[in-house]
Structure 1
Amino acid sequence: MLKFNVLTLRSRNQRDCSGTRIPVLGSAVYIFLLASILFILCAGPAEAGAPLEQIKGTVDKVLEILRDKSFKKPGMEELRRKKLRETIEARFNFEEIGRRALGLYWRKRTPDERKEFTALFSRIIEKAYIKKIEAYSDEKIVYTDENIDDGYATVRTKIITAVNTEIPIEYRLLSKEGRWEVYDVVIEGVSLVNNYRMQFSSILHSKPYAYLVKVMKAKVAKKD
């Protein structure tokens, strides 16, 4: 059975849809939130333009959820994760991420198929990394550069781990109705969108689109 890989930070032995260990690269959701949280806690040298200001608003909400003691009580885990998912979805443009990741195959999909694909894709990313967001610790972040150009923005950062390893991370955002929305994350030179595009193309090169949907549904339905 063909599979596609899910990205996690500097982990070379994660599991694919069937549970087999496979080499992977980095998590957009986890890294984005981790780096943004750290921006609040230890500001870098770059000035915070509109993209960072809006990201900060999202991360403030994430921090509020993570620090809320009422969510740490027994039986509150699902509600906490629901709140985190809603906060993530408000900042990430999963339709744009999905469109770019599916590439030429996106054009062949009906509106209903695109809606279904976007929903499955977002759930796969969120389901895989909510626990990592909840396990946020004390890594450091340095913001090195921010560029805004004709409705698009790039924010470049470095995460510095406890052993002083530097991980370069670039966030790509687009402006939509006065909001900045994340549509790609580049980790150590590797684009999340390009990585998924290669995986989806590999599957769709030899299998029908319905097969990819089947694999994605199985991933979403699988219990943690």
Structure 2
Amino acid sequence: MNSDPTPVPHQAAVLQQAQEQTMTRPRLHDRSGRRRRAPPVLLCLLVLLTAWGPAAAAASDTPEAFVGKVGQDVVDVLKSTRPASEDRQKKLQGIFVEAFDTTTIARFVMGRHWRRLGEDERKRYLEIFPAYVASIYATRFAEYGGEKFEVLKAQPAPGGQTLVETAISGGDQKQPVAVGIRVSKDGGAFRMIDVKVEGVSLLVTKRDEFGAFLARNEPDELIERLAKIAEK
């Protein structure tokens, strides 16, 4: 495993674009205490992943079709598993691992604190991160309220990536919500890199959460907290 903190080219593109975003720092998510509604970025991502129809999953030779296939896989899991079941959790985690560039995302959201991690901590963090995010997503699927999703267009983005521009409407949304999904192709396979809702980046949201926590705590404490969330 490469422990060099210098980002590879497509990681550098992620860094350059996401650093342009500014926002407040929410608390690190946990699953104790009073239940809170999903942040708009996470909730819209869940809507996105559950809104695609079978036609969109016919092929994955374009970024749009790739995202559609991911969405249909999620729909199949939701139809065939019980809410909060271990089976659902494992299947959603598998989809996340395959669909997202987990290494790029995990390293980016750790930010400058990546350099504070030893080799063993990096390895454990990268192993835990996909399960952590899958756990959050699985918890939030209950909030899906039947919103409608539409692909508007796809256009080239820096670093050889593609920005798929979409819109979500209906449900609780009084006006369509703009959602941009950034997709990269690495080794012949498409991977999702980031989701932006009304210009707010999922990557930056998680980086700010982690940064706020690590300003007061050690990296191993963050890793253990992520592990506990992932196990629930």
Task: Compute the TM-score of the two structures, normalised by the length of structure 1.
Answer: 0.73
Query: Which of 117, 123, 126 lines up with 1:109 in the alignment?
Result: 117
Q: Secondary structure of the residue that 1:159 maps to in structure 2?
A: strand
**Corresponding residue of 2:4:** none
**Corresponding residue of 2:202:** 192
Q: Deviations 1:111-137 (Å, cap 9, x if unpaired)?
A: 432232133332222112214446755
Deviation at 1:106, TM superposition (A): 1.8
**Corresponding residue of 2:188:** 178
Summarize the Cα distance change of 1:164–1:41 in structure 2 as closer, same or farther, 3 Å threshold.
farther
Q: How many equivalent residue pairs? A: 202
1:152 aligns with 2:175: no
Gaps of 5+ in 2: 1-25
Summarize the Cα distance change of 1:202–1:5 in structure 2 as closer, same or farther, 3 Å threshold.
closer
Summarize the Cα distance change of 1:125–1:160 in structure 2 as closer, same or farther, 3 Å threshold.
same
Q: Secondary structure of the residue that 1:103 maps to in structure 2?
A: helix
Summarize the Cα distance change of 1:151–1:115 in structure 2 as closer, same or farther, 3 Å threshold.
farther
Q: Deviations 1:188-222 (Å, cap 9, x if unpaired)?
A: 2211111121222222223221222232233234x
CA RMSD of aligned residues (A): 3.2
Q: Secondary structure of the residue that 1:19 maps to in structure 2?
A: coil
Task: Compute the TM-score of the two structures, normalised by the length of structure 2.
Answer: 0.71
- 1:1-224 to 2 correspondences below 5 Å: 4-6=27-29, 16=30, 18-19=32-33, 25-28=39-42, 31-40=44-53, 50-68=62-80, 71=81, 77-133=85-141, 136-149=144-157, 150-165=159-174, 166-221=176-231, 223=232
Work out the percentage of aligned pairs sharing the same amino acid.
24
Summarize the Cα distance change of 1:26–1:146 in structure 2 as closer, same or farther, 3 Å threshold.
same
Q: Secondary structure of the residue that 2:162 maps to in structure 1?
A: strand
Between the two structures, name the one with larger relative contact order (CA 8 Å, sep ≥ 6).
2
Q: Secondary structure of the residue that 2:33 maps to in structure 1?
A: coil
Gaps of 5+ in 1: 7-15
